[in-house]
Amino acid sequence: MTFLGMPAASLTGGNLDGEQPFPEAARLSVGNAQLRRNLGAATHTIRGKRAAVVSELPDWQELRAAGAAIKDDVLANLERYLLQLEQQVTARGGTVHWARDAQEANRIVTDLVKATGASEVVKVKSMATQEIGLNEALEQAGIEAFETDLAELIVQLGHDKPSHILVPAIHRNRSEIREIFLREMPDVDPALTDVPAALAEAARGHLRRKFLTAEVAISGANFAVAETGTLAVVESEGNGRMCLTLPKTLITVMGIEKLVPTWRDLEVFLQLLPRSSTGERMNPYTSMWTGAVEGQQFHLVLLDNGRTATLADPQGRSALRCIRCSACLNVCPVYERAGGHAYGSVYPGPIGAVLSPQLTGVDRNPSLPYASTLCGACYDVCPVAIDIPSMLVHLRARVVDDKREQHRLPSPEQAAMAAASWTMRDSRRWTRALRAVRLSKPLRGWRLLPPPLSSWISSRDLPAAPAQSFRDWWTEREKSRDE
Amino acid sequence: MRVALFITCLADGLYPDVAKATVGLLERLGHEVEVPLQQSCCGQMHINTGYPREAVPLIRNHVDAFAGYDAIVAPSASCTASIRHQHGEVASSIGDASLIASTAEIAARTYELSEFLTDVLEVTDVGAYYPHRVTYHPTCHSLRLLRVGDRPLQLLRQVRGIDLVELPDAESCCGFGGTFALKNPDVSTAMLADKMQNVLQTRAEVCAAGDSSCLMHIGGGLSRLKVGVRTVHLAEILAST
Ligand code: SF4
């Protein structure tokens, strides 16, 4: 199957872009001292744990290469593997549904829940369902969704948005969580403390009744094995396993890129994922299921939502290798200061900056490819070796091309870039331009400059202009040597 | 060995002392340095801001200017990385076979200063004297694109009189990022604030690095704070006697 020439993503619904461009949203979060503290502490802790367990494995680089190669094979042969998966799941009693975008996926899931007659569902932590805004869609249909992952529950009870892929409530600290629980849990002990064990216990009490009564569970999937039709969820708390096993109906929403070809391939990813995400050698719970067991129903919703459009870009498609470990978020100096909400999408941080604009089309997320200093820390830690910095640079060119197409007149930035290119491509022009810099001598004292240069002097002094450019000095020196 | 200096546009226009120091150092080590004046800019700013098309004439000019040298030395990790990794990609994207070949040829002979000294000239003691308390910031592109490792520190450790102090959280980005500093001034400033705090913690009088661009950012911030800490390029320390 070739995806080239397919239309760019045109999505309906979903939580993949924000109301504000990144720089504006980030301005607010950078000014939030509490958020900066919470994030700084949390990301540095996970960063250290990851580094320690990764350094234990002598073959880490080989594992990374294997992870990348397996995912590249999946992406190159996606149609074949998807059809194989569908066949295997169906043969084992499951039902497979195909969803083009968020709206379609939400409709499929809502209809499936309605058909069971249930008005409540329990949910396993899942990025795909956050991506499509499933909870909101269910709510509109009069169905209440209960998040069972602790961090996801904190976000839901706080009427908040996730700000991290693995730890959606990373922007909250213990005392904030205690306040949310006291406010939102009807049956909570009013003497609740902010000791983590006490908070976890409160959540457990709150959720237990739901596990026992829920008829329907909704999950995502970390992996799907095409060869056997097996789905896998990897987690720390065990709440996911309760959802996957207790209710009569299980609905799984999964992005079409989550496939691995064979059972053996899981060996690679079950090493890469926990070490990269939580900094553990192994995650506490790995649940796998194949089709439906007797007396239960299993539905698998395969979600495109911009993924085939992403696949169409040869320089962008490796973003679909991502296994959502969040290692790139934890090392990102921009994420650490700006926080996840500034990215506007459920996928924040470096992977969000390359994935969200591709899923939505760059016109809907033009500021995200620029939300990086290109420091390269993300690429170093990514367990499937996605070269995020190079991809960001590529997407910036796509943003510029898109803007060129939309506006007939060049923007000030385009004009400046064209002028710089014209000056610098010719050494005579360049030499003259450098002399002009020298004439503007008091450079350092300048306090008033037009944007975007005004943002430089808001926090930094300009360098003093030198008396002479290097090339003029050199030319003089050469002359005096010849004499 | 015919050695050429790639001045870099920033050093040419704003930090000529960095280029002078590079020349002085290489000459002191017994090498004649040529400076082809046809050179201007590697085009990194254009490429990284989304304007690879506008970078093409700069890349063409660059490969023309530096044809025929055995080694091209630049006092910048960032520009070296662009030449090594990006020029070929831009050439491929426009499908220009001769440009692909010439960018590959130039890339293979281009070295960042600390690489050239330790790998090509195989010296770590360059005979420098610098009696100051110095902390070294390893720039992102030197660390993660060029993988220079501890080469700059090997060089600095041999400098007489230097009091070299380790920078806490050294490998974190300073927040410059080219046009990032202008497009995302708040995050850039927040990153800079943390970097400056770490620099100040060392009680160093000088913060050194191998990229004038990052130093312009860190130095601009330190100057604004009026804390009396200077930024100095690695080349200037190594050239000093
Ligand atoms: S891009 Fe790589 S590091 Fe980031 S979440 Fe995905 S797999 Fe993990």
A53–chain B Cβ distance below 8 A for any pair: no
**Model confidence pLDDT, tens digit, residues A125-167:** 999 999 999 999 999 999 999 999 999 999 999 999 999 999 9
For residue A26, the surrounding DSSP H or E stretch is: helix A22-30
Rg (CA), chain A: 26
Ligand 1 pocket: which residues have CB below 6 Å?
A: A 276, 322-328, 351, 381-384, 386
Q: Is the pLDDT of residue A5 over 80?
A: no
Instruction: Compute the half-sphere exposure of residue A253: CA atoms within 13 Å on the CB side of its CA.
Output: 31
Residues of B (63-92) whose Cβ lies below 8 Å from A = 65, 85-86, 89
Q: Answer yes or no: are the C-beta atoms of A444 and A464 closer than 8 Å.
A: yes
Q: Is residue B126 part of a domain?
A: no
Distance from CA of B156 to the nearest CA of A (A): 23
DSSP A111: H
Do B73 and B172 lie in one domain? The reply is: no
d(CA A349, CA B150): 29
What does the alpha-carbon distance between residue A464 and residue A458 come to, in Å, rounded to a whole number?
Answer: 17
Q: Answer with the one of A308, A327, A359 that is the final residue of a domain.
A: A308
A470·B19 Cβ contact <8 A: yes
Global pTM? 0.95
Closest CB to B46: pick one of A421, A434, A473.
A421
- Looking up tokens 């872009």 gives A17
B109 and B51 within one domain: yes
Is residue A286 domain-shared with residue A433, that is, in the same domain?
A: no
Domain count, chain A: 2
The partner residue sitting opposite B173, judged by closest CB among A373, A396, A434, is A373
Q: Both B106 and B169 in a single domain?
A: no
CB contact under 8 A, B186 and A371: no
Residue-level pLDDT at A455 = 85
CB atoms < 10 A from the CB of A119, how many?
A: 14
How crowded is residue A62: how many other Cβ atoms within 10 Å of its Cβ? Answer: 11
Nearest to B36, CA basis, from A438, A424, A427, A425: A427
Distance from CA of A104 to the nearest CA of B (A): 34
Among the ranges given (A312-321, A436-445, B32-41), the one the predictor scored with the smallest mean pLDDT: A436-445
Q: What is the pLDDT of residues B42-91, one digit of tens each?
A: 999 999 999 999 999 999 999 999 999 999 999 999 999 999 999 999 99
pLDDT of residue B144: 97
Please give the mean pLDDT across all residues of chain A: 92
**How distant is the Cα of A388 from the closest Cα of chain B, in angstroms?**
13
Q: State the maximum Cα–Cα separation within chain B, in Å, rounded to a whole number.
A: 52
Q: At A142, which CATH number?
A: 3.40.50.10420
Residue A351 CA, closest ligand 1 atom number: 1
Rounded to whole angstroms, how far apart are CA atoms B13 and B212? 11
Measured over the CA atoms of residue B181, residue B182, residue B183 and residue B188, the dihedral's sign is positive
Do B174 and B217 have their domain in common?
A: yes
CA distance A247 to A285: 18
Does the pLDDT of residue A445 top 90, yes or no? no
Q: Cα of A449 to ligand 1 centre, how many Å?
A: 39
Q: In terms of domains, do B109 and B163 share one?
A: no
What angle is formed at CA A183 by the lines to CA A181 and CA A185, rounded to 5 degrees?
Answer: 55
pLDDT digits 0-9 by tens, A213-271: 899 999 999 999 999 999 999 999 888 898 888 899 999 999 999 999 999 999 999 99
Mutation to test the B interface, candidates A39, A328, A335, A425, most B Cβ within 10 Å: A425
Q: Whose CA is nearest to atom 8 of ligand 1?
A: A325
Of A31, A458, A471, the CB nearest to B37: A471
Tens digit of each residue's pLDDT (9 = 90 or more) over A36-84? 999 999 999 999 999 999 999 999 999 999 999 999 999 999 999 999 9
Whether B213 maps to a domain, the answer reads yes
Question: Cα(B231)–Cα(A311) distance, rounded to whole angstroms?
Answer: 45
Predicted confidence band of residue A448 (pLDDT cuts 50, 70, 90): low
Clarify whether residues A153 and A277 are in a common domain: yes
Cα gap B13→B3, rounded to integer Å: 22
- For CA atoms B209, B212, B218, B221, the dihedral sign is positive
Inter-chain Cβ pairs, chain A and chain B, closer than 8 A: 194
Those residues whose C-beta lies under 8 Å from the C-beta of residue A296, and which sit 6 or more positions away, are A248, A249, A250
Of A308, A324, A340, which residue is a domain's last? Answer: A308
| B38, part of any domain | yes
Closest CA to B202 of B133, B131, B150: B133
> Which residues of chain B are within 8 Å of residue A445 when distances are taken between CB atoms?
none
Neighbour tally for A83: CB within 10 Å = 12
Contacts of A369 in chain B (CB under 8 A): 50
Q: Would you call A333 and B175 a contact, using CB atoms and an 8 Å cutoff?
A: yes
Of A393, A424, A465, which is closest to B41 when you measure between CB atoms? Answer: A424
Cβ neighbours of residue A109 closer than 8 Å, sequence gap 6 or more: A134, A137, A138, A218, A251, A253, A301
How far, in Å, CA of A12 to CA of B153, rounded? Answer: 53
Instruction: State both tokens at A231.
Output: 């789905």
Q: Which residue among A63, A382, A388, A392 has the greatest number of ligand 1 atoms within 8 angstroms of its CB, and so is best to mutate?
A: A382
Is beta strand B133-136 parallel, antiparallel or unpaired with respect to B206-209? parallel
- Are B86 and B10 within one domain? yes
CB contact under 8 A, B191 and A334: yes
Amino acid letter for position A81 = Y
First to last CA, chain A: 71
Spell out which residues of chain A touch residue B186, defining contact as CB-CB under 8 Å.
23, 26-27, 30-31
Interchain CB contact of B52 with A (< 8 Å): yes
Name the residue of chain A whose CA is nearest to B172's CA: A333
- Ligand 1: residue whose CA is nearest its atom 7: A322
Shared domain check, B138 and B115: no
Domain boundary among A308, A327, A358: A308
Inside any domain, residue B125: no
Amino acid at B42: C
Tell whether B190 is within 8 A of chain A (Cβ): yes
Residue A196 CA to residue B37 CA, distance in Å, equals 65
| Reported confidence tier of residue A437, pLDDT bands at 50, 70, 90 | confident
Does the pLDDT of residue A168 top 90, yes or no? yes
As a whole number of angstroms, the distance between CA A97 and CA A302 comes to 6
- For residues A221 and A78, state if they share a domain: yes
Q: How far is the CA of A361 from the centre of ligand 1 (A)?
A: 20
- Encode pLDDT of A176-190 as tens digits: 999 999 999 988 999
Domain extent for A100: 2-308
Q: Domain count for chain B, please give it.
A: 2
Domain-located, residue A186: yes
What whole-number distance in Å separates Cα of residue B176 and Cα of residue A72?
33
Same domain, A147 and A14: yes
**pLDDT score, position A7:** 41
Does residue B128 form part of some domain?
A: no
Task: Output the domain CATH number for residue B165.
Answer: 3.40.50
Q: Whose CA is nearest to atom 3 of ligand 1?
A: A382
Element housing A288 (H / E): strand A285-290
Residue B168: name the closest of B143, B141, B203 by CA: B203
Same domain, A302 and A444: no
pLDDT in tens, B83-93: 999 999 999 99
How many residues are there in chain A? 483
Q: Is the pLDDT of residue A3 over 50?
A: no
Backbone φ, ψ for residue A130 (5° rounding) = -70, -40
Residues of chain B with pLDDT under 50: none
Q: Is B42 on the interface with A (CB under 8 A)?
A: no
> What's residue A197's pLDDT?
93
Q: Using pLDDT thresholds of 50, 70 and 90, give the confidence band for residue A115.
A: very high
Q: In chain B, which residue's Cα lies nearest the Cα of A472?
A: B12
Report the C-alpha gap between B67 and B56 in whole angstroms.
17
CB atoms within 10 A of CB A248: 13
Q: How far apart are CA A147 and CA A157, in angstroms?
A: 9
With cut-offs at 50, 70 and 90, classify the pLDDT of residue A439: low
- A128 within domain boundaries: yes
Residue where the block lists tokens 């499509």 = A132
In a shared domain, residues B29 and B86: yes
Cα–chain-centroid distance for residue A223? Answer: 17
Rounded to the nearest angstrom, the gap between the alpha carbon of residue B193 and the centroid of all alpha carbons in its chain is: 22
The confidence score (pLDDT) of residue B27 equals 98
Considering only the beta carbons, identify the residue of A396, A455, A471 that sits closest to B182.
A455
Strand A144-147 with A230-235, pairing: unpaired
The answer to whether position B100 is within a domain reads yes
Q: Nearest CA to CA, how far is B127 from chain A (Å)?
A: 24
Q: Which residue segment(s) compose the domain that B22 sits in?
A: 3-120
> A222 near A273, Cβ under 8 Å?
yes
3-state class (DSSP) for residue A68: helix
DSSP B163: E
How many C-beta atoms lie closer than 10 Å to residue A118's C-beta?
Answer: 18
Tell me the C-alpha distance between B69 and B4, whole Å. 6
Q: Let me know: does A47 contact A392? Beta carbons within 8 Å.
A: no
Inter-chain CB proximity A431 and B221 less than 8 Å = no
Pocket test for ligand 1, best of A276, A346, A368 (most atoms within 8 A of CB): A276
Please name which of B124, B123, B98, B36 lies closest in space to residue B73, comparing C-alpha atoms.
B36
